[in-house]
Structure 1
Amino acid sequence: MTDTSDLGDIRGHADHSSNLGFDTRAIHHAFDPAGFSRAVKPPVFLTSTYGFESVAENDAAAALGGRLYAREYNPTTEILEQRLANLEGAEAGLVLSTGMAAFGTLVLSLLSQGDELVVHKTLYSNTVAMVEQGLPRFGIKVVPVDLSEPGKLNAAITERTRLVYFETPVNPLSAILDIAAIAEQAHARKVKVAVDSTFASPALQRPLEYGADLVLHSLTKYINGHGDTLGGALLGDAETLHTLHETGLRYITGATLSPLSAFLILRGLKTLSLRMERHSASALKIARMLEAHPAVAWVSYPFLESHPGFATARKQMAQGSGMLAFGLHAGFDGARTMMDRLKLLTRAVSLGDADSLIYHPASLMRARQSIRKDAQLADGVGEELIRLSVGLEDVNDLIADLQQALQPL
């Protein structure tokens, strides 16, 4: 039986941590072992419901906002929500089953029929499917804009615009958008801004510090960092997060994160800063190698001086993260040949794992066209593009594998 007094301990612990460093908070914030039989690691609460000693206690739990049923509340996931919010500089957080569940909860909770959503012209492929095929079915108009020029936002916003949404760095090219400039334009028209910061994580970038109102993460990626579970998060002001919980999670999507996944993500979070330093350092070294290679036509990595968003990346990111994209002079066929020659890097579509993962979007797009005739590459993505998520292996081994795969093409 759950002792509701412990639930208050979870929420109240580590208030003193506001002056502590990022890594200390990533390990300790929002969890007091004294509330859990002195266990150093947070327990995994595998329960679908909660029992109470009296009707009055049951009433009190309900008054706290759905602390009756596991779809709406779990002690393990609450620790994760509190910790992520603290690291991001947010008032509150909500964790969900996947990154796409987070996006669905965000837009379906905050927008209604007749509302408009402004998005950057390039988005993650499943987000594109949602905004092009899903939201119009609910009467929500989606307006794509090239937000690399923030001045274009003013003309796109109308009295029906409720939210501006974009990624930075942008999947898959690692383009950089200026959060502060976009937020300034949107706020001048009293429109909220939500940023998908998955490629960076709060260890490298905290969009709220640059004026964003809400932050989205796919926890599956860098924050978990071990490629063994799915998750998503929304972080921002307490009032909006209450709405997202009470409408999006409770009865619109119901996309609850499992307690075991929350435990795994909490485990990954403890090494986030260390991992992001390694990912970033290795990615920069690989990007420089590729930029100098005769088989490579171009490289896009935020902390390369040749990157168009280099100055903005240096302003709003601590390091460049582990994601880069590059193209080969040999084009589509050369990319496929190079991919098949790789011996160490894993051909896979995810990112942010300890393992280095590499994939060729055009090959997957052509394969999908056999069952989805409308499948197409995202704006700005050419058939030669290869996306690389640099892992935690010895960087010299990764470079050697890439070099042998590139010679000769």
Structure 2
Amino acid sequence: MKPETLAIHASNLVKNTTGDVTPPINLSTTFFRDENGGYPGGHMYSRVSNPNRSALENTVAKLEYGEDAAAFASGNYCGMALFQALKPGSHIIAPDDMYWGIKKQLLTIYHETLEFDFVDQTDLNLIKSAVKPNTKVIWIETPSNPLLKVTDIEEISKIAKANQATLVCDSTFASPILQNPILLGADLIMHSSTKYLGGHSDILGGILVTAKKDELWEKIKNIQQTGGAVPSPFDCFLLCRSIKTLAYRMKGHCENGKRVAEFLDKHPNVEAVFYPGLETHPQHEIAKKQMKDFGGMMSFLVKGDVDATRLVVNKVKLFAQATSLGGVESLIEHRYSVEGPDSKTPKNLLRISVGLEHVDDIIADLEQALG
């Protein structure tokens, strides 16, 4: 089935006596055993599995062409589960432009047990030169946050396989509708399901998808089930409901995103625009090769200093000045002030998540704010 069809039907796992078209929320934390001690309903305890979580994991695994998926209570915990599954002393090659929450884990939690290097992954030679005998993971993020760098998944997968390393792709900015890293050679895919999968800024979650159920995956599943950092049945229900409209929401985000990027690219008070759909983007051809469309995420540099940049972000009326992305509403944020004084993000950069409002209203709001 095509993604639009899978998104609607893959979560309808449970066939019950009441004939629900939409699977109900299953709040039970424990499940009946039979006379032989087995679990005829397929579930034992909700930390281990739950019908709503199984439906969510089945849906996203199918959308990403993976063998299995593991849902977590946040996107950050996807990183935690992977890092916990690695042996102490393992080396990770990570991108220089990387979501700060995952990067912060490496710098402040795993700095004593894991080794890691941050490199510009748009340069394949830099990745090759960073490989060590103990390199176990190459973590890529494409498009990246917040500079929208695009890394060549297929080429990097060759480097990973040649060095017996696991290729993990954070594909949050793309969603399964726009990009399928497993088909390009990735071993694991991460999504912050808070973002496009949820799509309404009201669910916190994350999910990992694996190309195959190998030893590393079994460790990750054990961490999920034994550690217990899992989403609630209600959150899983909401995510399944949201995913049903994902394909069509992404079409709107992409259409609006392209128009907004073209507007910003021509604006006299904008220094640069980072959007892989623009032909001027340095990795535009790679994006065309591995993405079906370019999404609704972009960043741009305001001409001027940090005060001029704050003036713009404080003048918007339609945009919400807030963290996160992928919701139906348009969001704008000064990333440097979020990431802190150690951030390498330019001080005049604003990141925007283009929503599903009418594109003329979105552009009009940016026009008056940029002045």
Place the TM-score, normalised by the shorter chain, in its bin. over 0.9
Equivalent of residue 56 in structure 1, options 37, 47, 65: 37
Confirm or deny that 1:125 pairs with 2:89. Answer: no
In structure 1, the gaps of 5 or more residues are 1-19, 369-374
CA distance in 2 between partners of 1:363 and 1:242 (Å)? 39
Q: CA deviation at 1:393?
A: 0.3
- Find the counterpart in structure 1 of residue 81 from structure 2: 105
Q: CA deviation at 1:307?
A: 0.5
Q: CA deviation at 1:152?
A: 2.0
CA distance in 2 between partners of 1:121 and 1:45 (Å)? 42
Q: CA deviation at 1:243?
A: 2.7
- Find the counterpart in structure 2 of residue 270 from structure 1: 244
CA distance in 2 between partners of 1:275 and 1:245 (Å)? 30
8 Å Cα contact 1:332-1:362 kept in structure 2? no
8 Å Cα contact 2:97-2:149 kept in structure 1? no
Confirm or deny that 1:28 pairs with 2:12. Answer: no
CA distance in 2 between partners of 1:198 and 1:280 (Å)? 14
- Find the counterpart in structure 1 of residue 19 from structure 2: 38
Equivalent of residue 78 in structure 1, options 54, 57, 67: 54
- Find the counterpart in structure 1 of residue 342 from structure 2: 376
8 Å Cα contact 1:116-1:161 kept in structure 2? yes
CA 257–278 in structure 1, closer or farther in 2 if over 3 Å, else same: same
CA 134–54 in structure 1, closer or farther in 2 if over 3 Å, else same: same
Confirm or deny that 1:209 pairs with 2:183. Answer: yes
Confirm or deny that 1:163 pairs with 2:137. Answer: yes
Confirm or deny that 1:149 pairs with 2:123. Answer: yes
8 Å Cα contact 1:222-1:352 kept in structure 2? yes
List 4+ stretches of structure 1 deviating above 6 A. none
CA 353–36 in structure 1, closer or farther in 2 if over 3 Å, else same: farther
- Find the counterpart in structure 1 of residue 89 from structure 2: 114
- Find the counterpart in structure 2 of residue 386 from structure 1: 350
Q: Secondary structure at the match of 1:136?
A: coil
Q: CA deviation at 1:194?
A: 0.3
CA distance in 2 between partners of 1:263 and 1:364 (Å)? 31
CA distance in 1 between partners of 2:280 and 2:164 (Å)? 35
Moved more, 157-166 or 270-279: 157-166
Alignment of 1:7-406 (within 5 A): 20-32=1-13, 34-35=15-16, 37-58=18-39, 67-109=43-85, 111-137=86-112, 139-236=113-210, 237-239=212-214, 240-246=216-222, 248-251=223-226, 253-365=227-339, 375-378=341-344, 381-406=345-370
8 Å Cα contact 2:332-2:350 kept in structure 1? yes
8 Å Cα contact 1:93-1:241 kept in structure 2? no
8 Å Cα contact 2:201-2:327 kept in structure 1? yes
Moved more, 177-186 or 195-204: 177-186
AA partner of residue 271 (structure 2): A
CA distance in 2 between partners of 1:262 and 1:336 (Å)? 37
CA distance in 1 between partners of 2:317 and 2:148 (Å)? 25
CA distance in 1 between partners of 2:108 and 2:102 (Å)? 10
CA 259–36 in structure 1, closer or farther in 2 if over 3 Å, else same: farther
Structure with bigger gyration radius: 1
Cα distance per residue 1:295-322 (max 9 Å; x no partner): 1111010000110110000111111101
AA partner of residue 144 (structure 1): F
CA distance in 2 between partners of 1:200 and 1:397 (Å)? 24
8 Å Cα contact 1:99-1:219 kept in structure 2? yes
Q: CA deviation at 1:242?
A: 3.1
CA distance in 1 between partners of 2:88 and 2:336 (Å)? 35
AA partner of residue 271 (structure 1): T
CA distance in 2 between partners of 1:36 and 1:177 (Å)? 48
Q: CA deviation at 1:36?
A: 5.3
Q: Secondary structure at the match of 2:281?
A: coil
8 Å Cα contact 1:154-1:186 kept in structure 2? no
CA distance in 2 between partners of 1:25 and 1:383 (Å)? 42
Q: Secondary structure at the match of 1:344?
A: coil
Q: CA deviation at 1:32?
A: 4.6
TM-score normalised by L of structure 1: 0.87
Q: Secondary structure at the match of 1:376?
A: coil
Q: Which structure dedicates a bigger proportion of its chain to helix?
A: 1
Q: CA deviation at 1:35?
A: 3.4
Give me the CA root mean square deviation.
1.5
Q: Secondary structure at the match of 1:313?
A: helix
8 Å Cα contact 2:61-2:68 kept in structure 1? yes
8 Å Cα contact 2:61-2:69 kept in structure 1? yes
AA partner of residue 154 (structure 2): A
Q: Secondary structure at the match of 1:94?
A: strand
Cα distance per residue 1:278-304 (max 9 Å; x no partner): 101111101111111111111010000
- Find the counterpart in structure 2 of residue 8 from structure 1: none
Q: CA deviation at 1:55?
A: 4.0
AA partner of residue 24 (structure 1): T
